Structure 1
Amino acid sequence: MKRAETVTFGGSALDRAAPLRPDVEGQAKLWAHEAATVLPLWRGKLLAEAGRPLALRVAEAEVLAEAPRLFLGLAEGGEPLFAADLPDWEGAEAPGSGFSDETEQRHPALPRGAFAELRRMMPALAPREAELAATARALFEWHRTHRFCARCGAESLPELGGWQRHCPACGARHFPRTDPVVIMLVTRGNSVLLGRAPAWPEGMFSLLAGFIEPGEGVEAAVRREVFEETGVRVGEVSYLASQPWPFPASLMLGCIGGAVSEEITLDPVEIEEAVWVSRERLAEIFAGRDAVIRPAREGAIAHFLLWHWLADRLD
């Protein structure tokens, strides 16, 4: 698919500068660089201003130097790029719950901006903003959930600029985790298969998706997931595009599959409702004129694939 990498979080050719990660003294010098910038996070939310992620200079707030940090890479001019994970502060408002967090929190020690949910910013993100935000959020979530060594249980320590954890007790080294997920544009003639999970907001439908299991290829995972969730059989499967999805750390592998059956039999645990939607109705959905179905979230690969199918641009 020619436009595959234009999906949100699809990449910006960031120089991640991996050879610089092992140099502890060099990392300290990069942090002290006068042009170094930091993307602050708190509980997975990003500091934002006017609906966009906000990076600060290291010198703008002392609290940044006290927080765990990641080395994200170098900008085009060689300026170091970091992210910092701030701890809770006194008086911090609790984040929202549910499918989408609409709350914002301001840190008393930061000069500007407020912490906001990344999903809310997706439609406005430039490619570089998106790549930095997705990388930082996924890495910090990995550190939060993998503090202890999977081999011996001792507490491990971050190293390599935040791109590895090392166990001082048994010497094991652990690397960031990414979980592969298939997401499927299943078509039959002029229609596409949409579904909704029980916990989703009313009216929200999307493409079917599921984790790839051990010992399973992408094509087999597409066929299995669609059949398990809806009873629909899929024949030919082709890859279209991918999207890093840092909620918490998945790689969405977008595929198109041709259905060879049409009758729907739901797995009620996974899917509350599934429907075949014609191309004409999908156009109405995207225009916001459908009384029942809302379009998939803008910025997500489901929205991306459906829009390109509707526009006949899956080349």
Structure 2
Amino acid sequence: MKAENSAVAIFPSKGMQVFSCLIYILGVSVLTHCISRRLSAEEWSRSSIREMPWVRICVLLVFVDSWLFLFTSGILVFGIGLETQELDCAMGIYICIVFYATSKILIYSFLLEKVYLVWTPSVGSSRRLKSPIYVVCAIMLGLYGAVIASMIAGRIHYLDSEGICIIGLQRYSSLALLAYDLLINIVLTGLFLWPVLRTNLVNPRLKAVAIRTLVASAVALTTSTVNMLVLALLQGHERGWVCLGSCGADVIFNALALFWVTQSRSSSEAISTRGNTRESSRLPEFKIMGRDGAVPQRAESRSAACH
């Protein structure tokens, strides 16, 4: 009997069906909370929106992208059904590639911006292309386009003899994604932490941001590595609900790690700093690390920009 005759047939047991459903329900709920917290912490006047730092825009876009991924894949798995026809099965891998890749690009852009903030003496966006560190990291980020192309070329989607949807990536695609994820995370996180931790920090808030970034990057990198490694070991062939569920759990952990890194120490602090966004984006030039290892007093404002 084809799996399309029963929505339960794609799951080996009721327990796994409930577990898969919980990933989407809890994930959408948690990400809705993250989005609402970020929206409430911003001032949504026209001038504030125009002057909102790119770091905060990246954070919001990561949460929205992750929410959309969980919402659409949840509807596909438990609403439309992956086994209804081959086109629905193919939609599973396309949804995974589009939203998963977009989420990664936004997270890498967030890390790139943090690297720029600690390595350049000016906050002005017009000077980005004059920063060698920023240019090199931006080129590395641009190489992700080749990884996305390999994911599209190496996509797998078909209905097996029992009518079960199988999706995934060819081994070369999953290994390319795994290698790139490891490289870019280590490089960007290391470039952010190196100038911060090698100085004698007088700003506890900046030090807390550095520690949080290290922990969150380790957690996010671990989940992504396990996800891609399992896919590679399985020759890129996974049941549709397993592949979408594992990628969903991956984006949830990445979004939560990002939320933890960027959250203020209290809600009142987040609200009170809304009015300072424009001033912090027009600070005079300073360097986060000097030859004497001292951090100027303006580092407090720079750490606020990192959030």
Taking structure 2 as the reference length, the TM-score comes to 0.25
More strand by share: 1
Of the two structures, which has the highest relative contact order with CA contacts closer than 8 Å and spacing of 6 or more?
A: 2
Taking structure 1 as the reference length, the TM-score comes to 0.25
